[in-house]
Amino acid sequence: MSTHLQILQALLAFFGQLPVPSSWRRPVVDRVARQIVFAGVGALPLLALIAAGLGVLAAQQGELWLTYTRRADLMHAVLDTGLVREVAPLLSVLLALATNGAPMCAEMAMMRVNREIVVLRCQGVCEFGYLVFPRMLGLALACCCGAVVLAALALLVCSARLSSALGGETVTEIMRRFLLELDGRHLVWMLVKAGLGGLIIAAVACTTGLSAGDARTEVPRMVSSAMTAALTWLTLGWILITAASHLP
């Protein structure tokens, strides 16, 4: 079966299993929590660094906006749209891909090579429900939380840099105006993009890893294939979601 078809089946199976109460057994919940800690909490220092750089760049764009348009009343809405709806979820997902995609695929491939998957099947354990589903859910939640943290820190740094450009307004006042101009739909689309991006990364990594053969030498090839496939799926998914988010 084609790997891409297996990835699509994993995504559909996730949404089919999500509302089923029997899916939320203690081992699954523990695995979800561990995935959130590994993918979310562990990436906070790097996330904060990226957010600081993003905030500085956004402030520079805001200063250019003021220089050429003299429309401070529209600047907050423009920066809100760019940071919250587009950039924050994109960077959160790319960070998750860089820090979690390869390790997750390698873990699944090594379990396959070491025949741990065969042992689970012999015990009657569903490999999707026990291995793939919690990793998909955990990484999706981690990406959503990462996007929120990234957007909040970037807006805070941007407000600090813009305080002098806006005639000495305080950081608190600028941040308040950012929040007042923030459209609730931008938050929804940010979470949709980040969550779906996390689902895609986990689905690709787990599916590709579980399709490995019996040789350990196949693991690096599986990891490389997973990263390529994840970027392909993320690009296509991002195009579709972005197009849908701009529909009237």
Output the DSSP codes for 178-202. Answer: HHHH--HHHHHHHHHHHHHHHHHHH
| DSSP designation for 215 | -
pLDDT band at 142 (very low <50, low <70, confident <90, very high): very high
For 11, 126, 178, 183, 222, the CA distances from 28, given in Å and listed in that order, are: 17, 11, 39, 35, 25
> 91-104: per-residue pLDDT in tens?
999 999 999 999 99
Specify the higher pLDDT residue, 180 or 5. Answer: 5
Task: Identify the pLDDT of residue 208.
Answer: 92
Q: Is 154:51 a contact under the CB 8 Å cutoff?
A: yes
Q: If you search the block for the tokens 């307004």, which residue do you land on?
A: 169
Question: Is 234's pLDDT higher than 90?
Answer: yes
Q: Higher-confidence residue: 54 or 24?
A: 54
- pLDDT for 158-189, tens place per residue? 888 887 766 667 888 878 888 887 888 889 99
Say whether pLDDT at 129 is over 90.
no
> Residue 205 above 90 pLDDT?
yes
Query: How many CB atoms are closer than 10 A to CB 177?
Result: 19
In this structure, which amino acid lies at residue 227?
M
> Average model confidence (pLDDT) for the chain?
87
Q: For position 97, what pLDDT does the model report?
A: 94
Over 90: is that where the pLDDT of 38 sits? no
Q: How confident is the model at residue 138 (pLDDT cuts 50, 70, 90)?
A: very high
Res 72: pLDDT: 66
Query: DSSP code of 71?
Result: -
Half-sphere exposure for 192 (CA within 13 Å, toward CB): 15
15 or 19, which is more confident: 15
What is the pLDDT at residue 175? 82
Q: What is the pLDDT of residues 41-78, one digit of tens each?
A: 888 899 999 999 998 988 888 888 777 777 766 777 77
Q: Which two tokens stand for residue 162?
A: 């813009």
